[in-house]
Structure 1
Amino acid sequence: MSRSLCHIVATEDAGSRLDALCAARGLYASRSAAARAIEEGRVFVNGATVSKKHAVAAGDTIVYEVDEEPESVVVYGEPIDLDVRFEDEDMLVLSKQIGLVCHPSVDHAHGTLVNALIWHCGEDNLCNVQGEEADRLGIVHRLDRDTSGLMLAAKTDEAGRELMAQIQDRAVDRHYIALVHGIMAHDTGMIDAPIARSADERCRMAVRDVPSAREAITTFRVLERFEAGPKDDGYSLIECKLFTGRTHQIRVHMQYTRHPIVGDPVYNAHGPRDARAQLGLRRQFLHSYSIAFEHPTTGEPMAFADNLPRDLQEALDSLAARSLGKTEAGREVAELMATSPVPSVEGEVPDE
């Protein structure tokens, strides 16, 4: 839940940067929190979204959204199974199961990855480098609740800062497998389209040309195509690589190309529930299958691959008779995944 508040810019604050003013006048707890809210399109100056560098004028009306969080959030360990692929004194690599939210929020106060990490590592053995976000112990990046696959977590603050810096510098290679609607015409492509919060639905993100939009770049390779059936226009299995890490980035970008991810309940305008029933899915077909980075302490190159979870593999198997053949990239990825472990913790999608 959130509420909107109003602030009128005083004469002495004229010319200040918007993010600096929001922090100085207590609209947000810190400048970074203010910048994040501005970038998410939650701050309006005279009714319009602007960039965090915007210089305010005396008399400007600032409307800003704040979350109505509980006065105190008690975060504790819970015995939730984790599929850990690598662990040392600095960090973990794990395969996140579906249905697992990364960190606590108003809607998910417990049963999150943070709760699982606290139980697994101990509260004092997880990094806390996100300032006031004490409920994000160990978290350096996120996956959506119903996106499965490989992700990183940090134990020490030094490791956390280094991994976050690698992500910021685009030095972490993150590849995803997705099944999308339609037969894609090109084997490869790049989607360079900025993302901001939707103007119509605040819980959604969208490709938008507004000051608050953030750069978002996704490349893709087609792995396999499946011919059209009596109830669909065919499908394409693709590999996506993230160069940036915006909220719902792949899901938003694939909707933008008119090839939305199969089973996506938010960014799919082509009847996701019909496709879910047809393929036996209860969530979007999106899996983080490959990640490569440098160890945050030793600098050693590290790479991990993950096979498809059972639910996604079964959906893919149901389309086998309609395959139009694997591409060269498809054969390459299939060979890699054949030697990779299948996720040992499946998880489940909560009833909607």
Structure 2
Amino acid sequence: MSKQLNERTVEAEVPERLDRWLADHVEALSRNRVQQLIAQGAVSVNGQVCDRKKELVAAGDRIVFTVPETQPYELTPEDIPLDILYEDDQLLIVNKPAGMVVHPAPGHATGTLVHALLFHCGEQLTGVGGVQRPGIVHRLDKNTTGAIVVAKTEIALHSLQQQIQAKTAQREYLGIVNGAPKAEQGTINQPIGRHPKHRKKMSILPIEAGGRIAITHWKSVERLGNYTLMHFQLETGRTHQIRVHSTHLGLPIIGDPDYGSGKFPGVRLPGQALHAFRLTLSHPISQAVVSAQAPLPQKWEQLLAQLRSRQR
């Protein structure tokens, strides 16, 4: 198996663990994957093979590592139940649960939405949008729940992608945030890009530094003491957009492990409290309006009931 040779020079103000530094500065590698490479002797520091993940590296250290080239996934259909909100011969809209990854990626070779779709749709998805992401038009984070549309044909794929790019498809979310906004509604227009230090995170980043335009419209739905149920509507679709923008407002999504505390004020959800509750688009063939609403997960209902009871 061929390998890719990579080299990095550390630029750090203080010494940092080797595994943490690599995971933060090499977007394609998870912390677990870095530790595997170290254990395999695939990482060297200043010309010496390093097999200690806790090895400290500092400014000027030269790190060289080899990574086996990515091999195509053998996508085998998996009989995973799907909560289907809408379906016809061109598309389907699924209510994705928390914990489900949309398409295969390193560390998630099975159990994804794509594997479930291949079982449900059979050969209909063959060749639609490529081998690795058949039918996938957009995505939701692993622990974000709710409505996601999937194309069954190339015509539908191109139409739906164009609608999202042209901002004619409406994607609406509900989120429970920590804190209370001063206004009842507003718009966040702040560019988002890859975090300069933590490469698996996103951040508010100026356009000249690599950020991309990101616009989120929001309004308060229900005030729950120190928490607020909020409605979000995306005008753009950047990675982690609502989570980053909400934190920028000083109102992080509760349970968010990356941009908040990761804690819940009561009933614990399986992921951050963000739910894609409604998706509205034009049908690729008939141009009729298709609107699907994903009911709140049961745990959401329990959490909201608990927060409401505290207000009585």
- Report if TM-score (shorter chain) is over 0.5: yes
In the alignment, is the contact (CA less than 8 A) between 1:90 and 1:154 conserved in 2? Answer: yes
Separation of aligned partners in 1, 2:253 and 2:6: 33
1:226 alignment counterpart: 224
| Offset of residue 200 of structure 1 | 1.1
Residue 307 (structure 2) pairs with residue 319 (structure 1): yes
Q: Is the 8 A contact 2:267 2:299 kept in 1?
A: no
1:69 Cα deviation from its structure 2 partner:
5.0
Structure 2 residue matching 1:75: 3-state secondary structure: coil
Return the alpha-carbon distance in structure 2 between the equivalents of residues 136 and 300 of structure 1: 26
Matched residue of 2:71: which SS? Answer: coil
Which blocks of at least 5 consecutive residues in structure 1 are unaligned? Answer: 7-40, 43-65, 228-233, 325-352
* Contact 2:147–2:276 (CA under 8 A) maintained in structure 1: yes
What are the ranges of 5 or more consecutive residues in structure 2 without an aligned counterpart?
Answer: 9-25, 28-65
Give 3-state SS (helix, strand or coil) of 2:75's partner.
coil
Q: Normalised by the size of structure 2, how large is the TM-score?
A: 0.76
How far, CA to CA, are the matches of 2:153 and 2:198 in structure 1? 37
Quick one: distance in 1 between partners of 2:127 and 2:184? 40
Contact 1:3-1:68 within 8 A present in 2 as well: no
In 1, Cα distance between equivalents of 2:96 and 2:273? 14
Quick one: distance in 1 between partners of 2:192 and 2:163? 21
Aligned to 2:118: 118
What are the Cα deviations for residues 309-331 of structure 1, in whole angstroms up to 9, with x where unaligned? 1011111110112449xxxxxxx
CA contact (8 A) 1:224 1:323 kept: no
Distance across 2 between alignment mates of 1:116 and 1:110: 10
Aligned counterpart, 2:284: 296
Aligned to 1:267: 259
Equivalent residues, number = 254
Alignment of 1:1-352 (within 5 A): 4=6, 70-126=70-126, 128-129=128-129, 134-209=131-206, 210-227=208-225, 234-268=226-260, 271-273=261-263, 275=264, 278-323=266-311
Q: Which runs of 4+ in 1 moved over 6 A?
A: none
1:258-315 per-residue CA deviation (whole Å, 9 max, x = no partner) reads 10000001111xx323x26x33233210101111100011111111212211011111
Query: Does structure 1 conserve the Cα–Cα contact (< 8 Å) formed by 2:85 and 2:93?
Result: yes
Identity of aligned residues (%): 36
Q: Is the 8 A contact 2:170 2:281 kept in 1?
A: yes
Return closer, same or farther for 1:86/1:198 CA change in 2, 3 Å cut-off: same
